[in-house]
Amino acid sequence: MKSRKDFVTIYMFRNALATLMAAFIAFIISLIQYYQCSFAEAIQRLFVFDIYTTLYFLLMWVFDYVVFEISKIVYDIYEEKVTFLPCIGLWILCICIFFIPILDLFQYNLFILCLLISLRMIKEMWKRTPELFVWVHKIIDKKSRPETGLK
Amino acid sequence: MNKEIKRQLILSVVLLCMLVVTLFFWYDNFIFHTYVNTSDYQYCFMGNNDDLSVNGYEFYKDHDEQSHGGARIVALNDRFFLEGDQVIATFVVKNGKEEMRYVHQLDVKSDNEVLFMNHEKTQEQMSGDEFKETSLEVIVKRDDEKVYEQTLPMNMQQIIAYNGANKNYALQNVYATASWLKTGDFVSTDKQIDKEYPYIIIDYLYLKENGDVDNINDYERFAYVKGKTEDILNGKNKTVAFYDDKGSLLERELRCVVTLTKKDTDTEGYTFMLNLKGAIKAVDSHEK
């Protein structure tokens, strides 16, 4: 029981770190693009310059984390029915985000967040429903098979 | 779906809704503080020899206007400038391919006068790479005869952009070098601020040597802007100040006191202080 709790803590920490990076990268790209500045200057603008920017960044991180956790819960509910379709839907959404007229920061953030969710989905599918990846094994087998059976 | 998962899901969705609402209501404030309008470029030069000290020669693009000039010329020897003298100062920029010359004519109105160049509009869009070699040719004419002709090498100075803000008001793009400061843009989240308070005074202060950061009496007022709030919001009323105290201005704590008043003659109104924070150099042109 104790070790399960430890794992939950590690998973939560990992997810928190992943979503933190999503928000961080989105902010940095957006600031660098807007100010045509260096990475160091963007860091300063994010953490030193103004408390309101930093607070919004933290808020966005929490938003990302909650969305990520909801995606996990939804995945667990429909675990047995999950195919590649939701993943493909997320990738299409990733591209469509850039055609929606919103602040580029939100575009980058949602793009990275969707990628993270789809990556986690693929990882879970690989673990729980390996039959979905039969085609991958076939490709790998084909590549590693000798050219003739005599060898 | 078991009860535990259902409970988690409902809780997460409620939390997500709260976060979305907070992000939505904070959006305007976040944009106001994060995506600050910047001058397209700002460069400042200084140079001196045994006779003259020239400081604050600018090339800048601000609110779609490109200008140059604005330097202060100080004679280091007594009676170097005499009443009636004519000074022709030509700023020369060599970028390796061509030579650009910006001529300024100044009349000396009294002996030992400190001269200030006007800002003049320029057609060329400048970038940092173009200032490979810069100098200022100074000719002093007295009774139509050249009495002085020298070329001063001009050095580009490091510029720091300062910003300061509270929740509803911000001062942005205050540019400073070790010995020079250019006042910045005043902006507010309240779009009707110029109707509520038609006049404004912005005092720029620096902390005196060994002064207490928290004691306002230890600050020296060295620049101010006074005028109509509408003009200042539109970036029209800007000024430069020169720092002649010991050390570098960049090492000093900078603060601004903003006073918004209803009448031009009022000295008291809505007053607040903004701490200026600067660590970032002025950005180069956005149009690359």
Radius of gyration in angstroms for the set of CA atoms belonging to chain B, rounded to a whole number: 24
B245 and B272 housed in the same domain: yes
CA nearest to A42 within chain B: B280
Per-residue pLDDT at B171 exceeds 80: yes
Residue pointed to by tokens 């720029």: B204
The pLDDT tens digits of the residues spanning A44-86 come to 889 988 888 999 999 999 999 999 999 988 888 877 766 778 8
A55 chain-B contacts, CB cut-off 8 A: 26
Name the residue facing A67 among B16, B35, B279 (closest C-beta). B16
- A70/B1 CB distance under 8 A: no
B48 and B26 housed in the same domain: no
B30 and B83 housed in the same domain: no
Q: What is the pLDDT confidence band of residue B279, given thresholds at 50, 70 and 90?
A: low
Is A149 contained in some domain? Answer: no
Ranges A89-93, B32-36, B172-176, B221-225: which has the least confidence: B32-36
B191 and B110 housed in the same domain: no
B258 and B147 housed in the same domain: no
Is B286 contained in some domain? Answer: no
Residue A14, CA distances (Å) to A148, B79, B162, B198 in order: 46, 73, 37, 54
- A56/B34 CB distance under 8 A: yes
- A59/B23 CB distance under 8 A: yes
- Letter for the amino acid at A149? G
The pLDDT tens digits of the residues spanning B24-79 come to 999 988 888 888 777 678 899 999 999 999 999 999 888 778 899 999 999 998 88
Q: What is the pLDDT confidence band of residue B288, given thresholds at 50, 70 and 90?
A: very low
Supply the range of the domain harboring residue A124: 2-144
- A49/B1 CB distance under 8 A: no
Q: Where are the beta strands (DSSP E) in chain B?
A: 41-48, 52-62, 65-69, 72-75, 86-94, 99-107, 115-116, 119-121, 133-142, 145-153, 155-156, 160-165, 169-177, 180-182, 185-188, 199-207, 219-228, 240-242, 254-261, 270-281
Last residue of a domain, one of B106, B124, B156: B156
Name the residue facing A77 among B5, B165, B280 (closest C-beta). B5
Is A127 contained in some domain? Answer: yes
Average pLDDT score over chain B: 87
Q: Which two tokens stand for residue A106?
A: 């939100």
B164 and B273 housed in the same domain: yes
Is B108 contained in some domain? Answer: yes
pLDDT of res. A87: 85
Q: Please return the burial class of B67, using the count of CB atoms within 10 Å of its CB with bins 0-12, 13-18 and 19+.
A: middle
pTM of this prediction? Answer: 0.72
Q: What is the pLDDT confidence band of residue B104, given thresholds at 50, 70 and 90?
A: very high
Is B287 contained in some domain? Answer: no
Per-residue pLDDT at B18 exceeds 90: yes
B267 and B165 housed in the same domain: yes
- A60/B38 CB distance under 8 A: no
Per-residue pLDDT at B17 exceeds 90: yes
d(CA B7, CA B17): 15
Is A150 contained in some domain? Answer: no
Is A151 contained in some domain? Answer: no
pLDDT of res. B282: 47
How many domains does the structure of chain B reveal? 3
Element (H, E) at A24: helix A2-35
- A44/B15 CB distance under 8 A: no
Residues whose CB falls within 8 Å of the CB of residue A97, separated by 6 or more in sequence, listed in order: A106, A107, A110, A111, A114
Is A44 contained in some domain? Answer: yes
For B100, which DSSP code? E
Q: What is the pLDDT confidence band of residue B123, given thresholds at 50, 70 and 90?
A: confident
pLDDT of res. B57: 94
The pLDDT tens digits of the residues spanning B245-275 come to 888 898 899 999 999 998 877 777 899 999 8
Average pLDDT score over chain A: 84
Which one of A56, A74, A79, A105 would you mutate to disrupt binding with B, by most B Cβ within 10 Å of its Cβ? A56
Average pLDDT over residues A95-111: 91
Last residue of a domain, one of B126, B156, B186: B156
**DSSP letter for each residue of B139-208:** EEEETTEEEEEEEEE-EEPP-EEEEEE-SSEEEEEEEEETTEEE--EEEES-TTHHHH--EEEEEEEEEP
A45 chain-B contacts, CB cut-off 8 A: 34, 280
On whether any CB of chain B is under 8 Å from the CB of A24, the answer is no
Q: CATH code at B265?
A: 2.60.40
Q: Which two tokens stand for residue A62?
A: 């929490």
- Letter for the amino acid at B19? L
Percent of chain A with pLDDT over 70: 87
Size of interface A-B (CB pairs under 8 A): 72
CA nearest to B172 within chain A: A49
Supply the range of the domain harboring residue B123: 41-156
CA nearest to A103 within chain B: B31
CA nearest to A49 within chain B: B277
Average pLDDT over residues A108-129: 88
Reduce the DSSP state of residue B62 to 3 states and report it.
strand
Average pLDDT over residues B131-141: 91
On whether any CB of chain B is under 8 Å from the CB of A66, the answer is yes
Is B288 contained in some domain? Answer: no
Last residue of a domain, one of B107, B136, B156: B156
B176 and B270 housed in the same domain: yes
Q: What is the pLDDT confidence band of residue A130, given thresholds at 50, 70 and 90?
A: confident
Is A43 contained in some domain? Answer: yes
B139 and B164 housed in the same domain: no
A26–chain B nearest CA distance, Å:
14
Angle at CA B174, nearest 5°, toward B58 and B171? 150
B26 and B50 housed in the same domain: no
Percent of chain B with pLDDT over 70: 95
B193 and B240 housed in the same domain: yes
How many domains does the structure of chain A reveal? 1
pLDDT of res. A144: 62
Q: Which two tokens stand for residue A16?
A: 């928190």
